[in-house]
Amino acid sequence: MPAKVVVVGSLNMDLVTRAQRLPHAGETLHGESFATVSGGKGANQAVASARLGARVSMIGCVGDDAYGEQLRAALLAEQIDCQALTSVEGSSGVALIVVDDNSQNAIVIVAGANGQLTPDMVAGFDAVLAAADVIICQLEVPMHTVGYVLKRGRELGKTVILNPAPATSPLPADWYSSIDYLIPNESEASALSGLPVDSLESAELAASRLIAAGAGKVIITLGPQGSLFANGQGCEHFPAPKVKSVDTTAAGDTFVGGFAAALAAGKSEVEAIRFGQVAAALSVTRAGAQPSIPSLSDVQAFKAS
């Protein structure tokens, strides 16, 4: 059987428009296109793990609206176990996304049903967590729920990954001892560490501070500059594969999902980082969130080329 990854997190319907550039405050721009695409950091990471070789379960909430039905169907189409995906009253999560001609994006999230995922709800699916090899969390569901999952994952002896997105301030101090792999991007690493992160050197300083705070290991994703891995012994930089970027939406989620799938399959940290980077690089060559996520065969073909 393939390895088991459990994702506890968000599901959003992404409302995506493309424009020549991102609007300034108070400005109205003409958009070039519009699409509704299944997304949410939790769902994206679940889809990435599934397409990249893992057996995946999703724990989360969707609304009792049409978007909720579509979000569930998108996961089922990827053979993701949805027994722990709960429908609640109200609207599903929504993300409003603008993508410019340089493939950069700006995103506003409305939590909707994601805000109703409680520790008690997760506890009701403890058997799903217990069956995991790797547990992934993000910050698009309530913080107390994330804290519960991290600690429960540590109690169960699982490999616990936290992608602290979106992060605007330091994490609770008592979380760090439950995190095996903390995977922020540059802005999130800055928010967590209180240090500016705008170069490889500053990323090393931020990663070292997060290790000192108690995180097991830290991987800071640096976009086209690749990623920085840090543990108690030091730091290592992994350059990114060279590709032509079209849309960076879900690139970080693809890295996290690919990294988790590779770890769960028994790959080393270095192999898992490189695998996740190839998957993320392929994702930015395509538009959209979940539609951009590559398959295992896509990654294997790229590595062989």
Pick the CATH number of 41-91+115-297 from 3.10.150.10, 3.40.1190.20, 3.40.50.1370, 1.10.1520.10: 3.40.1190.20
Tokens matching residue 262: 């590779």
Structure tokens at 131: 């069956």
CA 258/CA 241 separation, integer angstroms: 15
**Residues annotated as catalytic (active site), given as ranges:** 253
In degrees and rounded to multiples of 5, residue 86 shows phi and psi of: -100, 135
Residue 183's pLDDT is what? 98
- DSSP-based three-state secondary structure for 168: coil
What pTM does this model have?
A: 0.93
Nearest-CA neighbor of 63 among 40, 45, 30, 34? 40
pLDDT at res. 288: 78
Separation between Cα atoms, residue 291 and residue 294, nearest integer Å: 8
Domain ranges of the chain: 41-91+115-297
Answer yes or no: is pLDDT of 172 > 70. Answer: yes
pLDDT digits (tens, 9 = 90+) for 140-171: 999 999 999 999 999 999 999 999 999 989 99
- Nearest CA to 90 out of 119, 122, 68 is that of 68
228-262 tens-digit pLDDT: 999 989 999 999 999 998 888 789 999 999 999 99
pLDDT tens digits for 81-99? 999 999 999 999 998 989 8
pLDDT at 209: 97
Q: DSSP for 237-298, please give it.
A: EEPPPP---S--TTHHHHHHHHHHHHHHTT--HHHHHHHHHHHHHHHTTSSSSGGGPPPHHH
pLDDT value at residue 186: 97
Residue 1 pLDDT level (bands cut at 50, 70, 90): low
Contact 202, 220 (CB under 8 A): no
* Calpha distance 181→250 (Å, rounded): 19
